[in-house]
Structure 1
Amino acid sequence: DKWVKGDTANLLKLESDGVLQEYGYDSAKQLVDWRLYNKTGGGLMAELGSHQMDACSIFLGKQHPVAVQGFGGKNFYGIKGVGPEDKWDDDREIDDQIFVTMEFPGKSYYDDAHKVQNEDDKCIVTYSSINTNSWEPYGEAVFGTRGTLIMKTEKEALLYKEASAASGGGLDQRLWVIESAKGGGPVLDAYETTAPTQAATDAAAGMGEKISRGYREEMEHFCYCIKAGEPNKTLRCNGTVAMADAIMALTTNLAMKHKKRIVFKDEWFDPKNDAVPETDEQIPTA
C-alpha cells in the first residue's frame, strides 16, 4: 500500500511531548499517514476523484452536477480473513474502494433562466476507484451515440467510431486526428486494419514521447499572473473552480457515508453564500 509510509520513530518524541497535538494531529502515525484518516484526508474522492469529476464537468460544458449517490467501503484493509494476514490489522478510516453515480444536466435540462425544464435530460457519470488493483490506469471514457472517446492518464486519447448499418466501427476501427494535406486543419482518418494510414502514423509520431499533462503550464501561468498583475479571472483554475471540485468530492463522500442520494444546490457553489453540504437538511445529523 503506497499510502502507508511506515516508520514513525522520528516523530514519537514529538508525539510524547505533545507537540503534534498542538498542530491538530492525534499521533505521529496520523501525521505520516495522513491520507488514511478522515480528519486529515478526504479519501479516494479527494485524491483523484475531484480531478476526474472536474474533467467530466468540462466534457459536459462546465456544468455542476444535479445529484450523487454511491458506495464506499473498507473491503480489503482491516478485514480479518481477506488478503494477506499483515493487512488484517489496519486502522485506516478512508474507504479502499468507491463506486459513484453522479447525475449531470443535459443540454435541455435547464431553460435560459437556469430553471429545470426537462428533468429527464441527464448525463450519467459513473466513477470508481479501487485501492487494491492497478490494472487500469486513471482516465475517462465518454460513450456517445456516434463514437467512444477514451482518455488515459491525461496523455493519450483514443477515439472509436460507433458502428452503423452503413459503415463499420468498434474496437477494430479507430478515428485518428491528422493534419489536412491542403492546410484546412485537422481531419478524421478512419481505418479497419492493424495500423493507420501513413498520414495518421506521421501525425502520431509528431506528438513525441513526452506529453505534458498541463501542470507546468498551469504553474507558469499562475506565476505570470502574479508578476504581471493579471486579474484573478484570467487564472486557468481560480478559487471558484477549485471550490466546485471540492464540493463535488466532499458531497460524494457524504452520499457514501450516509448511503443516500444527495441533490446539489446552487448556493453551495456560490463563494459569497455561507451554505455548505455538511449542514444541509439532506444530511442526517444523528
Structure 2
Amino acid sequence: MKVLVPVKRVIDYNVKVRVKADGSGVDLANVKMSMNPFDEIAVEEAIRLKEAGKADEVVVVSIGVKQSQETLRTALAMGADRAILVNAADDVHQDIEPLAVAKILKAVVDEEQPQLVIAGKQAIDNDMNATGQMLAALLGWGQATFASEVDVDGDAATVTREVDGGLQTIKVNLPAIITADLRLNEPRYASLPNIMKAKKKPLDEKTAADYGVDTTPRLEVVKTGEPAERAAGIMVGSVDELVAKLKEAGAV
C-alpha cells in the first residue's frame, strides 16, 4: 500500500506573528518557517503504518514556493521514502487556496495511485480546514476527518474521530482520505544520520502548470490586523463576589 502525505511550509508555531505596518498581510521577513504541525502528525502516522508492515511506501508532497524543499527534506528525514515539490508560487506571501491545492493533489493522486492519503486537518497559518474534504469530493473517495486513532486492516480503515460530543468511531473503505488531529500521535525527531540520508532521497519538482491547474487567487485579502488586546483581569475575594461579577457582565 502506498500512502501520500501533503505537507505545508508555515511560520513556526513558536514564532510570534507580526502584521505588516500597512496591514496588507503577515510579515515573513527573517521569520523561522517549519512544517505545519498537523502535517507532521500525518507524516508520523504514515511512517508508523510502514513500520507496522501495513504500507510499502510513503510519498510526501508540498505545493507552494521553492523553499518548501526544506519542509520536504524534514519529512524525508523522519522516514518518508520520496518527495514531490509542486512549484505553484514565486512569492512567499502568496498562499495557495484550498481548492487549487485540492485540484493539484487530485492530479498527483491520479499519477501516483496511492491507497491512502493522510493530511493534517488544517494549516495553522490560515486555519481553512478544507483541503482534505475538497480532495475527497474531487476523488469521490470516503473521508475520515479529525482522526485521533487510525487502524488500517486490509481494504478498510477504522478511524476514531474527535467530535463536539466526544469521540466517534467510523470505518471507511480504501482508498480514502484521513485528516490528522492533534492527539493522533507525537511526531518523532529526525536523527542526524537520517537528516544526512534524506539529502540523497528522491525529490521530484513539478509545477502547477504541469497538472493544468490555475493557482490565481480567487480571494482578496482586504486587511490584516493584530488581535484585540485582552482587558486586564480583576481579583475577587469570594465565590459570591465572583458570581455577582459574572452576573453584572451578563455571563450567567
Q: Compute the TM-score of the two structures, normalised by the length of structure 1.
A: 0.28
Q: Which has the higher contact order (CA 8 A, sep 6+)?
A: 2
Higher-strand-fraction structure: 2
